[in-house]
Amino acid sequence: MGSNSSNSSSDINKLAKWTSDSECNCDDTIKKVYLIKLNDVPMMSSGLKVQADVGRVILGVVSAGVSENFLFKGHRATHDVIEARVKCKCEGCMKNGCLAKNGKICGSNPYYTLEYTKSGSSMKIGYYSKTLYEDEEYRPTNMNLNNLKEIYNLYEEVDGRNYSLSNFNCKDWAKKVYNRIKNDY
């Protein structure tokens, strides 16, 4: 659903087990985006999640379900991210970091993660290794890394000024970007 005031990006990184990745230096237009996933990762420890779930149930019973519809909007207490898988198809650009040798393609295969928190949006090289839910998956047929960066730039927000736990959070942002990718590619 999004970070709350007690959970920072570094907390999410620890709980969801952030794993940094690396990429080659080949041109982004040669790097094919072959898989896009809309994932939910943990934003609180299992003990705190149990407490939050119990509180949510009690609040739901006391408010006759009104809290679920208006406060939580059916969101889970998770952090929503977009994970992109990329494969470099370079056949030898001679740039530093290009892995193409002896007639083989570079083949660099990094993960990219796009996310939105109260600090703003980010596109990082790496992935969360602890995923709670894989909500959706899409396989674009003609998208390269440069295209993905162009879409991200349309929705980039460096300071999180529009972030709102109840009105516009990580789930809303991720779904908007994900749908744009599906519509364009």
Q: For residue range 64-89, what is the model confidence (pLDDT) as tens digits? A: 545 444 444 455 578 999 999 999 99
4, part of any domain: no
Half-sphere exposure (Cβ direction) of 46: Cα atoms closer than 13 Å: 2
3, part of any domain: no
pTM of the model: 0.77
Q: What is the rounded CA–CA span in Å between residue 52 and residue 76?
A: 10
The total domain count for the chain is: 1
Nearest residue to 175 via CA among 60, 73, 23: 73
91, part of any domain: yes
The stretch 172-179 carries a mean pLDDT of: 96
Tell me what pLDDT residue 33 has. 98
1, part of any domain: no
- Reading phi first (left if > 0) and then psi (alpha if -120 to 50, else beta), residue 53 is in alpha
133, part of any domain: yes
Beta strand 31-42 with 18-20 is unpaired
* pLDDT range class, residue 44, cuts 50, 70, 90: low
Determine the structural domain holding residue 144 and report its residue range.
9-184
2, part of any domain: no
148, part of any domain: yes
89, part of any domain: yes
Those residues whose C-beta lies under 8 Å from the C-beta of residue 16, and which sit 6 or more positions away, are: 41, 42, 43, 79, 128, 129, 130, 131
Nearest residue to 130 via CA among 11, 3, 24, 35: 11
